[in-house]
Structure 1
Amino acid sequence: VSQEVEGVDLVTVVTEGIFSYCGVKVKIDTDRHIGDETAIVRSQGEAIGHVTTGEYGSQMLSLGGVHHLTGGSKQEGRATCDALLNLCNRKPVELTIDGGATVIVEAGKPPVIDGKVEHRMRVGCGSATIGMFATQWRGLVDEVVVVDDHITGVVSEHQAGKVLGWEDTGIKIIGRRSTPGRYFKVSEPGLGWGGTTISDPLSILGDWNVKKGARPGLSLLMVSTTGEQFAYYELDDELKPVQKPFPERLQKSVGLIEDNCEPALCTVLFVGGAGGSLRAGVTENPVNLTRSVQGLKTYVTVGGAPVYVWPGGGITLMVDVTRVPEGAFGYVPTPALVAPIEFTMRRDDYVRLGGYENEIRSVEDILAKGGEYLNPRRGTGAPVNNPWPPLAQLRRAAANGAG
């Protein structure tokens, strides 16, 4: 299809690709532990992928791929294709993770983890939260601990606290100290505070040290990385933290953490390798298309949505399925997914790479006559008593109240 855009004559090859080498990358915004890295992810009881390396505030899944689609049992291939198709078409899919959680994933919607809707993703790790909000707590509380399965932060020891002149409190955190005010391994990953297994935050505290500032009446705020869990304590005469009603003066700071947390969503990226006969439908010498894409002379889209093309050989692309038209993905019984794909370039570049110049048609011609598989009843010479579409019949049916 040719079209002039801002004075440049462009050609777009519009087609569909059959992708057996394809899958989806799923980003689930949550602190909660959904499964160990490399744990098998299942749909309809069949293995369709695995848990991969987590990202900041999110858990990640890698699903599909040719080995699950065609390398396993027939049922595994069907379950994989069905899950990928629904995920790409923005429908909810229930996934179970071996040794982990059951998660309902739907692109653009909050994840549902073990029946609970996730509302917020973390503002940062415990250390980052301290860095962002230390000034909010100065003068209102003696100590703040932000509980996190990655890095638990302690404001009196943290550099952000030191810059503000924060006094030592004699606190003891049970965990592996990284740098001042930052602790790893305070707990195993789980569904509790800050993505840990913790339900009682006091379980990560050791004995308080009088020589380093501990004293009766010292106030302590413990909060999670999303601000969803928080508690306030004061040390008694034996230097044991005793929970007290949450003071009004700290409500604003906890609310500020929540306000800075973005809504938790599921993101689904379709990943596919465009190869084989698909490229031959664009040019007589398919490698020329690959080189043109890698040389940024050809712009690739999926249903009009922008894609990321991986560097290196081939045309391996990723696209956010929420930017693709609704219902754009299909399947074939291979099993494999079918996805729209378009290649846009300057007309002279298309001719140079060996494109089918004689097949180029204008947008106006396409809209008037249809695509490649033209219905002959709309062309010249069609019988006058056999119009298409049958508008008169449709109008009569509408007038008579037919559906």
Structure 2
Amino acid sequence: MAERGQEEKIRCDACPVMCYIAPGKIGACDRYANEGGRIVRCDPLTILDRRVAKGDAVKPFLGPEWDGEILGGEEVFVSGVGAGTTYPDYKPAPFIVSRKVEGADFVTVVTEAIYSYCGVKVKIDTDRHLGHETATVRSNGEAVGHVTTSEYGSQMLSLGGVDHLTGGGKAEGRATCDALMRLCNREAVELEIDDGATVVVEAGQAPVVNGQREERMRVGCGSATIGMFASQWHGLVDEVVVVDDHITGVVSEHQAGKVLGWLDTGIRIKGRRSTPGRYFRVAEPGQGWGGTDLDDPLAILNPWLEKKGARPGLTLLMVSTTGEHHGYYVLDDDLQPREAELPEALKPSVALIAENCEPALCTVMFQAGAGGSLRSGVTQNPVKLTRSVQALKTRVTCGGAPAFVWPGGGITLMVDVLKMPEGSFGHVPTPALVAPLEFTLSRADYRALGGHDASVRTVSDILKHGGEYGSAVRVVEGE
């Protein structure tokens, strides 16, 4: 809805800012414009068509070749991208679409949600230390999140959230909103971590840590690497140490080595011994061997014990969990390891570690709370929608991509941005993110939860007449 103001400007009420937009101009969000005295959405409504992926013939919607066939069902899906918002939430969603799926009547409620409670979880595949847990993550100098609990072979960041968007100063809120929107739209964003690394993150691409592009994630921790490859080394080398920031493995002590009949070597490792062949904190975290601060792996060795099996000529392979670093050593007469050339027989085993490492990538998961007032665009009794989602009667998608909904109260969703159409995300200057959202359920269940049944329309009608914010449409491939 829009109201006329002075000098033919029109007030846009699609978000709380309520810009007055002059003819031919766009609002502060770059999403709505004044076109001929009417507020229109700048981006077209996005239709997902599975027939594109199948290679089937697709007749142009509303074009001269369109024969007026009824569109809907499982092949064509109206997404929330470009749909417009439900704000200020007293009215039905921009599009409430009827569909027939295998003969059953379904309804999809389509909107673009304005999220103040939102953020991203970023998974960065790297062995390198990015920063200590809870360290502040910054974009353009402003705090936008923090380092959170590491996962297996990956560093994790938690970015955004209402405290950064609205709880700090204006600069912090704007920087947070900008970083979130660019990450969700698959753009590269440089992040600085306090007392840590600088990392460039782009969804689906390799991370760049301190200017160095990562190639692969670790095959496993040091102990797991011993378990996987001990048989490859048996009989070719006397001792193997897999250097790892978390769990360094020693094959002669490890259970895998014992089962294979590995002899004691008298090796002694600095750090805290966990169980046989597994050591914690052999060094500090960093950018070196196995995510440690080591340039020289021999720094983790204490003097060798002759009475435990150490002898001149004993051979030692030290390798990282990605195979990126490796060294071969031979004990001299003083039981000091001296570097030597890696024997040809051992080269395939080092290469096998690298071969078993998956490509290093960045994953961006958008997370948001959809349990607020936008539910009024679906039903006059919002809590019934929440209960329907929790009971798995209502399916939640974002731009057609399946969303994981967290158990418990509310509708807290999480979705992989790579599964959504490109350019799905926008913003409003409050600041907050705008993202597509769809609720799909049976027509009978929709009526039971008090849905806006009088506003239900067919896909064909939507394509022919458009909606409150215009009639432009684009068709993209649907999964």
* Amino acid aligned to 1:355: G
Letter in 1 for 2:193: I
In the alignment, the residues of structure 1 paired with residue 371 and residue 237 of structure 2 have an alpha-carbon distance, to the nearest angstrom, of 61
Question: 1:28 maps to which residue?
Answer: 124
Distance 1:180 1:166 in 2: 13
Q: Which residue of 2 aligns with 1:133?
A: 229
* AA matched with 1:252: P
1:76/1:148 CA distance change after superposition, 3 Å = same
Q: Give 1:218 deviation, angstroms.
A: 0.7
The match for 1:224 among 317, 320, 328 is 320
Question: CA–CA distance in 2 between the matches of 1:108 and 1:247?
Answer: 37
Partner of 1:122: 218
Among 197, 205, 208, the alignment partner of 2:301 is 205
* The one of 347, 353, 359 aligned to 1:263: 359
1:190 pairs, out of 286, 303, 306, with: 286
> What SS does structure 1 have at the residue aligned with 2:446?
helix
Structure 1 vs Structure 2 CA RMSD:
1.0
Question: 1:106 and 2:202 equivalent?
Answer: yes
Distance (whole Å) between structure 1 residues aligned to residue 470 and residue 444 of structure 2: 27
Distance 1:181 1:256 in 2: 21
Question: 1:75 and 2:171 equivalent?
Answer: yes
Unmatched 5+ stretches in structure 2: 1-96, 473-479
Quick one: percent identity of the two aligned structures?
74
1:369 positional shift: 2.2
The number of residues matched between the two structures is 376
Matched with 1:383 is: none
Check if 1:355 corresponds to 2:454.
no
Among 374, 381, 397, the alignment partner of 1:285 is 381
One-letter amino acid of the counterpart of residue 267, structure 2: I
SS at match of 2:127: coil
Segments of structure 1 that go 5 or more residues without pairing to the other structure are 379-403
Show the 5 A alignment for 1:224-243. Answer: 224-243=320-339
2:247 corresponds to 1:148? no
- In the TM superposition, what whole-angstrom CA distance separates every residue of 1:322-365 from its partner, at most 9, and x where no partner exists? 11100000000110000000000011000100001111111222
The whole-number CA distance in structure 1 between the counterparts of 2:221 and 2:348 is: 20
Equivalent position SS for 1:53: strand
Deviations along 1:270-292, one digit per CA (max 9) or x if unpaired, are: 11001332100000100000000
Q: Does 1:56 align with 2:146?
A: no
For 2:413, the equivalent position in structure 1 comes to: 317
Distance of aligned partners of 1:374 and 1:192 in 2 relative to their CA distance in 1, 3 Å threshold = closer
Q: Secondary structure at the match of 1:249?
A: coil
How far apart are residue 54 of structure 1 and its match?
0.7
* TM norm structure 1: 0.92
Match of 1:392 in 2: none
Give the deviation of 1:247 after TM superposition. Answer: 1.0
**Alignment-mate amino acid for residue 274 of structure 1:** A
Is 1:167 equivalent to 2:297 in the alignment?
Answer: no
For the residue of structure 2 that corresponds to 1:361, the secondary structure is strand
Deviation at 1:371?
A: 3.2
Aligned: 1:92 with 2:188:
yes
Could you tell me how far 1:243 is from its partner in structure 2? 0.5
Amino acid aligned to 2:112: E
SS of 2:367's equivalent?
strand
Q: Distance in 2 between matches of 1:58 and 1:234?
A: 34
For the residues of structure 2 that align with 1:276 and 1:21, how far apart are their CA atoms? 10
2:428 to 324, 327, 332: 332
Aligned to 1:158: 254
Could you tell me which of 13, 20, 30 is aligned with 2:109?
13
Task: State the distance in 2 between where 1:374 and 1:349 align.
Answer: 29
1:242-257 correspondence runs (5 A): 242-257=338-353
Question: Take 1:173 and 1:185, find their aligned partners in 2: how far apart are those partners?
Answer: 10
Alignment match, 1:45: 141
* TM-score, with length taken from structure 2: 0.78
Shift of 1:372: 4.1
Distance 2:417 2:286 in 1: 29
Alignment counterpart, residue 304 of structure 1, candidates 382, 385, 400: 400
Q: Report the equivalent of 1:176.
A: 272
**2:461 equivalent in structure 1:** 365
Counterpart code for 2:299: S
Q: Does 1:344 align with 2:440?
A: yes
Q: Secondary structure at the match of 1:289?
A: helix
Residues 180-224 of structure 1: per-residue CA shift (max 9 Å, x gap): 000001001000000000110111111111111111111110000
**2: CA distance, partners of 1:167 / 1:148:** 23
How far did 1:309 drift?
Answer: 0.3
Task: Report how far residue 366 of structure 1 moved.
Answer: 1.6
**Structure 1 residue 95: deviation in Å?**
0.5
1:367 offset after TM fit, Å? 2.1
Cα gap change, 1:9/1:372 in structure 2, threshold over 3 Å: closer, same or farther?
farther
Separation in 2, partners of 1:246, 1:15: 61
State the SS of the aligned residue for 1:252: helix
| Residue 46 to residue 374, structure 1, CA distance change in 2 (3 Å) | closer
What letter corresponds to residue 22 of structure 1 in structure 2?
Answer: C
| 3-state SS of paired residue (1:248) | coil
Q: CA deviation at 1:374?
A: 5.0
The one-letter amino acid paired with 2:188 is: P
Deviations 1:34-80 (A, max 9, x none): 11111111101111111111111111111111111111111111101
Shift of 1:14: 0.6
CA–CA separation in structure 1 for the residues paired with 2:233 and 2:181: 48
**C-alpha separation between the residues in 1 aligned to 2:382 and 2:100?**
25
